C-alpha cells in the first residue's frame, strides 16, 4: 500500500484506532501528526465514502444488487494510491450492482471511470472532449490509467 494510504489510515487514528471494513480491519501504522498533513484530499474523501458504502445491504438498489465487497473497497484504495498524485481531483465513488466499487471523474472535458472487479481485473473507460476514447481491462500494468488520471488536472 502506498505511503499516502498509510498516512490516511494513520490520520483516521484520531477518530478511531482501526479502519473497520466489516470483518476486515486495517490498523494504522504509527506516524507523526505532521505526516497526516500530506495526505491528499482525494484519499480522505475516498476512504470515508467507502466506509459509508460498505454499510449498504444486499438489494440496496431494490433491483437485487449485491452487498458491496470489502475486498473491492480495499483494492480500489490500492489502485488509486498507485496512480493518483497529491493534486488528483476527488473522484465520485459509487457501488456497482455486482458488489464492486467504481471511481468516476467527469471534469475538464474528461470522463474517466475505474471499476475494480478483482485485484487483477480493473475495467477502465476514458473519453475526452476531442472525441478520443478507450476502454480497457487492466491487471498489473497501470501505466495507461496513471496517464489518464494525470490529465484530469489539466484544462482541456
Q: What is the dihedral of CA 30, 36, 38, 42, to 10 degrees?
A: 110
Among the ranges given (30-39, 86-95, 103-112), the one the predictor scored with the smallest mean pLDDT: 30-39
pTM over 0.75: no
- Residue pLDDT, tens place only, 27-61: 555 544 555 567 788 999 999 999 999 999 999 99
Beta strands in the chain (DSSP E): 19-21, 24-26, 92-95, 101-107, 110-118, 121-128, 133-138
Amino acid at each position: 500500500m502506498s505511503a499516502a494510504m498509510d498516512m490516511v489510515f494513520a490520520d483516521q487514528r484520531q477518530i478511531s484506532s482501526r479502519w473497520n471494513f466489516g470483518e476486515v480491519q486495517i490498523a494504522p501504522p504509527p506516524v507523526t501528526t505532521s505526516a497526516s498533513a500530506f495526505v491528499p484530499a482525494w484519499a480522505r474523501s475516498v476512504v470515508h465514502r467507502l466506509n459509508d458504502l460498505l454499510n449498504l445491504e444486499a438489494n440496496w438498489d431494490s433491483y437485487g444488487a449485491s452487498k458491496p465487497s470489502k475486498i473491492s473497497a480495499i483494492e480500489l484504495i490500492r489502485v488509486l494510491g498507485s496512480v493518483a498524485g497529491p493534486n488528483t481531483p476527488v473522484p465520485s465513488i459509487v457501488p456497482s450492482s455486482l458488489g464492486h466499487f467504481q471511481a468516476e471523474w467527469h471534469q475538464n472535458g474528461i470522463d474517466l471511470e475505474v471499476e475494480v472487479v478483482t485485484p487483477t481485473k480493473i475495467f477502465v473507460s476514458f473519453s475526452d472532449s476531442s472525441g478520443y476514447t478507450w476502454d480497457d481491462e487492466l491487471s498489473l500494468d497501470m501505466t495507461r490509467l496513471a496517464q489518464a488520471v494525470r490529465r484530469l488536472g489539466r484544462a482541456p
